[in-house]
Amino acid sequence: GQQVMQIPQYQHVQEGEDFTTYCNSSTTLSNIQWYKQRPGGHPVFLIQLVKSGEVKKQKRLTFQFGEAKKNSSLHITATQTTDVGTYFCAGTGNQFYFGTGTSLTVIP
């Protein structure tokens, strides 16, 4: 079956440092979505990428969709303590396939 892997599983950064999480699918995806789950909360939609090679920015967050539509990345510039949480990618092929998630800790 389809698998979506994310690396790293955990990441600790000092506040102000950059952070990147990578998402890789075993098959080609129609779209890729990114979600953020704050500690004790529920996943919240961040963005959807549709086109091959697409890049989207949301303030300090930059999202990329690979040319082959099998991988994606989320980059946060100058992390803040409000960025703490787990970031999930979700590939939409026939269904929503959530990645394993990257838990981000930001040390003040």
- State in angstroms the smallest separation of the CB of 60 from another protein: 21
The amino acid present at 8, given as its one-letter code, is: P
Q: Considering only residues 8-27, where is the footprint of another protein by CB under 8 A?
A: none
Q: Which of 62, 77, 100, 105: binder of another protein (CB under 8 A)? A: 100
Q: Which of 43, 71, 72, 85: binder of another protein (CB under 8 A)? A: 43
44 touches another protein by CB under 8 A: yes
From start to end of 1-108, where are the E strands?
Answer: 4-7, 10-14, 19-25, 31-37, 44-49, 55-58, 61-65, 71-76, 85-92, 96-98, 102-107
- The CA distances from residue 92 to 6, 30, 36, 98, in Å, are 15, 6, 17, 9
98 touches another protein by CB under 8 A: yes
Binding residues for another protein, rule: CB under 8 A, are 30-31, 33, 35, 41-45, 48, 50, 88, 90, 92-101, 103
